[in-house]
Amino acid sequence: MTEDAQGATAMLADLATALVSGDVDVVDLTHTLDPDFPVIVLPPEFGQCARFRMEEISAYDHRGPAWKWHNFTCSEHTGTHFDAPSHWISGRDVPNGAVDEIAPERFVGPVCVIDCSEGAAADEDFELTPQVILDWEATHGRIPKDSWVLMRTDWSRRRGEAYLNMKDDGPHSPGPVPAAVELLVHERGIRGFGTETVGTDAGQGSHYTPPYPAHHILHGAGRYGLQCLANLDLLPPRGAMLLAAPLKIRNGTGSPLRVLALVPRAG
Ligand code: MN
């Protein structure tokens, strides 16, 4: 075994020990899939995303005496889910742009969390601007290349109609301005961007240039999205590792998934 391989083996052994001892916690950033969890609602002239549905096949009964199981249906974009580059027209020709084509190492990576919870509490249309990112970096250091960046808003605590927050002029929820996504993608080289809201874009994101800048810029550059995340308040600003592997759906544009973070124990 080479020295590098010995080092890597020792590192994984240390990780296994830390997971058992609790020095590294596994934090679940995922909402439970159930029929009540809201899905994005588009203007009525467009096709619509399906909620989660589950039907019982058998439950230790005449349909199957020793087993219980279900069929379920949903959209690729239902619940806590992953957006692949092919989800957006700007990313339709990106190589390896569907969930089944993305290399597995892309599903494990470092994560930075930008806390916008105070701003989002005061303003439901709170905007993540370049200045917010630069202020974060002044405290925590430059966002490392190939990191996930997650926008914490505590929006995941909302339930029912307050989650989509639909008004006469459409949904209202926080999100990034175009220049912030440009900074993250083209100057910091992030791997992807995630939010607690139903989309990576603000509720009013159709009014930016380009419309839906997170989708347009991220996916056009072959980067990924995560939305409907939870428990971002349990993550440090930096230093955690994100595990986010979508289902291997052929030509899939996204997928519900279990998002986990490996987090160093505080203190
Ligand atoms: Mn989506």
Lookup result for tokens 């052994």: 13
Cα(86) to centroid(ligand 1), Å: 11
Give the tokens for residue 10. 């020792």
At residue 1, the pLDDT reads 82
Cα(228) to centroid(ligand 1), Å: 9
pLDDT of 112 strictly over 90: yes
CB contact burial 153-190 (16+ within 10 A = b; e otherwise): bbbbebeeeebbbeeeebbebbbbbbbbbbbbbeebeb
Encode pLDDT of 151-183 as tens digits: 999 999 999 999 999 999 999 999 999 999 999
Q: Which residues surround ligand 1, an ion (CB under 5 A)?
A: 77, 83, 254
Encode pLDDT of 207-249 as tens digits: 999 999 999 999 999 999 999 999 999 999 999 999 999 999 9
At residue 166, the pLDDT reads 96
Mean pLDDT of 185-200: 98
Q: What is the mean pLDDT of the chain?
A: 97
Residue 172: which of 147, 199, 149, 144 has the closest Cα?
A: 199
Long-range CB contact pairs, 61-64, < 8 A, 24+: none
Q: Which of 31, 81, 87, 219 is catalytic?
A: 87
Name the band, by pLDDT with cuts 50, 70 and 90, for residue 28. very high
Mean pLDDT of 132-161: 98
The residues spanned by each domain of the chain are: 21-264
At residue 267, the pLDDT reads 61
Name the band, by pLDDT with cuts 50, 70 and 90, for residue 25. very high
Mean pLDDT of 55-78: 98
Q: Which fold has domain 21-264?
A: Glucose Oxidase; domain 1 (3.50.30)
Cα(215) to centroid(ligand 1), Å: 9
Cα(211) to centroid(ligand 1), Å: 15
Check if 215 is active-site.
no
